[in-house]
Chains A and B, each alone.
Chain A
Amino acid sequence: MRRVSSGGPEIERLIQLLAKLPGLGPRSARRAALHLIKNRDAVMTPLAQALKTAAEQIRVCGVCGNLDTHDPCAICTDISRDAKTLCVVEEVADLWALERAAMFNGRYHVLGGTLSALDGIGPDDLNIPKLVARVREAGVAEVVLATNATVDGQTTAHYLAGALAAAGVAVTRLAHGVPVGGELDYLDDGTLAAAFRGRKAL
């Protein structure tokens, strides 16, 4: 028996597009579409306008790889930030996470991924040559490698440490270990081992 569409082709198209978003399957996309239609003035129209503006105006920062409506981005042009400290992250989402923590007042460099032997991602496929040039030219004193604590993330960090060795800057990385609120009993062996190796005097 042929499935009958519950709405017109426009609604089906909307549901199909919403289902492509992370975290949304076909059922939740259908619910989201219904919510948008029911709240046309309050949600749907402003959302459509916001999407249109974002699609037209958001671009990749030519200096750090961040996403912003201006190039260079707001972080790169902020004179109150410490230009001598550079934090290297894998993705823009990591930059946003660090900005949420409000711990770092330097500038960023987004790699756009990690080295991966299996996927054939090499240094030239990432934003690495630009990082090396930036460190050499911009008077950077410290590079903080904030890559993920994964095999690929740390492989990339070690590669960057080697690539930046000749630049004469301090290269540091984030600590690995027990998260705030973490109970030792529930931690995996790897995290516990890393925390134990990185113990500090009190």
Chain B
Amino acid sequence: MEWRDEGIVLAVRKHSESSVIVSVLTEQHGRHAGLVRGGGGRRLRGVLQSGNQVAVAWRARLADHLGNYQVELVRARAAAVLDDAARLAAVTAACALIERAFPEREPVADAFPALVAMLDAIEASPVWPSRYVRWEMTLLAELGYALDLERCAVTGATAGLAFVSPSSGRAVTAAAAGPYRERLLPLPAFLGRAEDAAVVPAAEIAAGLALTGHFLSANVFNHRTKPLPAARLRLLDYFHAQATKYGA
């Protein structure tokens, strides 16, 4: 058995003294792990960092085997964000979410290009925080828990959407929310727009992360009795702190 693919390094675990087991989100083979001999050594340690884009060649005698990876660096994405606390937290949060949420060896359509586009935004775009929240919404949709923020679940209105039902994931207008608004999740205004031309305030990003975090917790992680990854919680804490420090 042998194939070649491109992917993003999600996680690295030590295996014996010098080898590591690397989990990679590949373009055509989904989340796939493999053994990298010498992966704990000086030559490959820099390559095998979460978020790095790599070319992999996987070989095994049988398809069920763990198999061996030959890894080559395509783009050192981790190094580009090491100095920036928020960007680094976003990259590690994205990798940890996929590592924990995606089934192994099952290709998920569009997951790889969506992650690459989001990592591109984290590296270079000033509006990366809103792109990150939108990417988590895409992640929820890919896992079968899409949010419906197009129209009001009660009235069908497409304007004035202000809340999201924590159980159905559907939007609700402020008028239709009425006395139930305390039980609903706030819908940040930027999620009502198609794209983000300007930088979204930290308070709105924190509300967006709280929204997607609620559905990730309830639908993807809770039933496996796993909490949200610590990196994802730190990302939310960062934007909460920014919102408190600099106001909305």
Binding site for B on A (CB under 8 A): 22-23, 115, 117-118, 120, 122, 149-151, 154-155, 158-159, 161-162, 176, 188-191, 193-194, 197
Contact = CB atoms under 8 A, between A and B. Distances in A.
B182 interface: no
A123 to B, nearest CB: 9
Q: Of A23, A155, A188, which is in contact with the most chain B CB atoms at under 10 Å from its CB?
A: A155
Contact of B73 (A149, A155, A189, A194): A189
B99 A151 contact: no
Closest 3 pairs (CB-CB, A-B): A190-B79, A190-B76, A158-B85
A120 B13 CA distance: 13
Contacts of A151: 49-51, 78, 82, 88, 91-92
8 contacts: A118-B99, A151-B92, A155-B234, A188-B47, A190-B49, A190-B78, A190-B80, A197-B83
Interface of B: 11, 13, 17, 45-47, 49-52, 73, 75-76, 78-80, 82-83, 85, 88-89, 91-93, 96, 99, 229-232, 234, 241
Contacts of B83: 154, 194, 197
Contacts of B52: 190
Given A118-B11, A118-B96, A194-B82, 16 more contacts: A22-B17, A117-B93, A150-B49, A151-B49, A151-B78, A151-B82, A151-B88, A155-B92, A155-B231, A158-B85, A161-B85, A188-B47, A188-B76, A188-B79, A190-B78, A193-B79
B82 A149 contact: yes
B73 A117 contact: no
